[in-house]
Structure 1
Amino acid sequence: MGRIGTTELLVILMIALVLFGGSRVAGLGKALGTSLREFRSEVNKGSEKKEEEPTAVKAEK
């Protein structure tokens, strides 16, 4: 429970198509895909940078 099934997804897409039109829905999909791709690349850059940083050594007093 709580997961969106295939039927529900199709109904949502059909409603979006009727409300916004085909060209606008395609543009929204492209923008969403571009945003996700950029987000993933930034997350990967952050994790790579974290691995490259040396661990700090505590100074003994």
Structure 2
Amino acid sequence: MARSPKPAPLWVPIVAAVCFALAALLQEDTFGRVAFGIAAVALGLTALVQWRMRRSGRERA
């Protein structure tokens, strides 16, 4: 049976979210700010969900 892939390190979506947030602040047009802001929030939520899943997995073990 195939093993499930190893999840990405937690720092990857955190760094990506910070980079997208900085890019959003540097945009001059509203669409760019909103688009990069949405990407930053999505990556931040991804990091939060991964952190909670890892934490709950440790508590069960």
TMscore range, shorter length: 0.5 to 0.7
Identity of aligned residues (%): 11
Name the TM-score, length of structure 1 as normaliser.
0.55
Larger RCO (alpha carbons 8 Å, 6+ apart):
2
Structure 1 residue ranges (4+ consecutive) displaced by more than 2 angstroms after TM superposition:
none
User: What 5-or-longer segments of structure 2 have no aligned partner?
Assistant: 1-24
Paired positions, count: 37
User: What 5-or-longer segments of structure 1 have no aligned partner?
Assistant: 1-12, 54-61
> 2:38 aligned with 1:36, yes or no?
no
> 2:24 aligned with 1:26, yes or no?
no
Name the TM-score, length of structure 2 as normaliser.
0.55
